[in-house]
A and B are shown apart, each in its own frame.
Chain A
Amino acid sequence: MGGSLNVNHLAFLANGALWTIGLSLIALVGGGLAGFVVALARISPLRAVRILAAGYVQLIQGTPLLVIMFLTYFGLPPLGITVSPLTAASVSLTVYVGAYLGEIWRGCIESVPKQQWEAAEGLALSRTQRMMRVILPQAVRIATPPTVGFMVQIIKNTSLASVVGFVELARAGQIINNALFEPFLIYLIIAVVYFALCYPVSRLSRRLEASQGRPRLSVETA
C-alpha cells in the first residue's frame, strides 16, 4: 500500500498493453496457421483426417482457455518439458484460436457456391488448383469480416495469459494494484485500455460485414 499512481506506473501499463498487442499478433499468426490446416482437414476427402480435425475442434471448443493455459504451464513441466510464461501463453492461444478460426474458415470455404466447385472440376483443374485458384480466393473475401471480428476475441483472451504470470495488460494492472491497492481505479483504467484496443477492431468488422451486405450472427467468447 501507499503511494499514488504516477508516470512510472502508467509506463508499466503501457508496456503491458504492448505485450497484449504482441501476444494477440502471435495468437493470430499461430492460430491462423493452425486454423488454416484445421479448415482444410475438416473438408479433406480422407475420412480419418476429417474425424481427427473434428475431434480436435470439439475438444478445444469444449475446454476453457484458462484450463488450456494451466495445462501447458503447470502440466508440462512434470513431464520434463519446461515452458516460460510467454511460450505457455503463445502455445495455448495458438491451439485455442486454431480450433475457432478453423471452424469459421471451414464455414467460409463451404459457403462458396457449389457451382464454383463444379465449374472448376469441369475445367479439369486438379484438387489443389481448384482450392488455390478458385475456392480460396473467394473464401478469403467471405472470411474477412468474421476473422476481424474474432480478432476482438483474441485480444480479450490474451488477458488470460496473466494467470500463468505473463506480464501483459491485465497482469500489469494486478502488479500495480498490489503496490497501490486502488483496485477500482486501476481495473477501470485497464478496462478502458482494452476498450480502446478492441472497439476500433469491432467497428471495422461491423463495417466490413455491412459492406458485404449479409449480417451474420456470430457467437463470441468472453
Chain B
Amino acid sequence: MKINLDFGAILERWPSFVSGAIMTLELAVIATVLGTAIGVLGAIARRSGHPVATRVAAFYVESIRNTPLLVQIFLVYFGLASLGVKFPAFTVAAAALTINVGAYTTEIIRAGFDAIPKAQIEAAEGLALSKPQIYWHVVMLPAIEKVYPALTSQFVLLMLASSVTSQISAEELTAVANYIQSDTYRAFETYILVAIAYVALSLVMRAGFYGLGLVMFPRRRRLGTPL
C-alpha cells in the first residue's frame, strides 16, 4: 500500500480556511458574550427563590444540558423558519450556540454565587457598602473569579462545538473543510489541517482568556494565584 499525501492542493485554498476560522471565532465570541449575560441572569433567577423564575431557569438549564447541540440547532433553524422569516445561517448558528452555552454558563456561575460565604456579605454591610457596591464587588466579581477557569474551558469547548453549525451550512471552518475536501478529494489532508487549526484556535482562546483574567482580576494578579 502506498500512502500518498499532498497538502499542496489544500494549502492553496488558505484564504477559504482563514475566512472559515474567522467565522468560527466570531461565533465563539458572540456566544461567549451573550452566553455570559444569559448565565448571570439565569444564575440570579435560579437563586432568586421566586417560584416561577426558579422553575423557568431550571427547565431551561435541564432541557439544554440533556439534549444534543445538533438537535438544538435543527430546532432553532426550523423553528425560526416556521415563523416565516428567513434568517441567514450565521444568525441561526449564533442564536443556537448562545442558547446552548447560556445553560452551561448558568450552572457554572450559580456555583460561583453559591461559593460566596454569607459572612463576607455581612462584613461588607458592616462596612456600610451600598447594595450595588456589595453586589458588584463582593458577590459578582469574586463569584466569576472563582469559576473563571471552568467558564473559560466551557467557552473553548463551545468554540469546538460550533463545528456542528456546519450542518445548517454556516460557512465556518468545518463547513469550509467539507467543501474543500469534496472539491479536491483530499479528505485526509483537509481534516488533518482543520484539526490542527482547531487546536491552534483553542490555544489562542486560552491565551486570550488568560490575558483577560489578568486584567479583570487584579487582586489575583497581585497575589500571584494562578488562573
Contacts and interface: CB of A to CB of B under 8 A. Distances in A.
Contact of B191 (A65, A67, A220): A67
A58 B66 CA distance: 26
Contacts, number: 143
Interface in B179-227: 181, 185-188, 190-192, 194-195, 198-199, 202-203
Given A64-B163, A187-B75, A217-B147, A157 B68 contact: yes
Could you tell me the dominant secondary structure of chain A's interface residues?
helix
B198 A222 contact: no
**Chain B interface size range:** 35 or more
Contacts of A188: 75
A112 B104 CA distance: 28
Contacts of B153: 219
Contacts of A125: none
A195 B203 contact: no
Interface in A191-214: 191, 194-195, 198-199, 202
Interface stretch (B38-46, B47-55, B116-124, B154-162): B154-162
Contact of B198 (A63, A80, A195, A202): A63
A217 B111 CA distance: 8
B108 interface: yes
A71 B185 CA distance: 13
Nearest to B187: A74
Interface residues of A, number: 45
B69, B191, B199: most-surrounded residue (chain A CB, <10 A): B191
Contacts of A67: 163, 174, 177, 191, 194-195, 198
Interface string A50-88: 000000001101111111101100111111100000000
30 contacts: A58-B199, A63-B199, A64-B160, A64-B161, A66-B166, A67-B174, A67-B177, A67-B191, A70-B174, A74-B188, A75-B190, A75-B191, A78-B185, A78-B187, A159-B68, A183-B77, A183-B78, A183-B81, A184-B79, A195-B67, A198-B65, A198-B67, A217-B108, A219-B153, A220-B104, A220-B154, A220-B157, A222-B100, A222-B158, A222-B161
Interface of B: 1, 3, 62-63, 65-72, 74-75, 77-79, 81-82, 100-101, 104, 108, 111, 147, 150, 153-154, 157-158, 160-161, 163-164, 166-167, 174, 177-178, 181, 185-188, 190-192, 194-195, 198-199, 202-203
Interface of A: 58-59, 61-68, 70-71, 74-80, 152, 156-157, 159-160, 162-163, 170, 173, 183-184, 187-188, 190-191, 194-195, 198-199, 202, 215, 217, 219-222
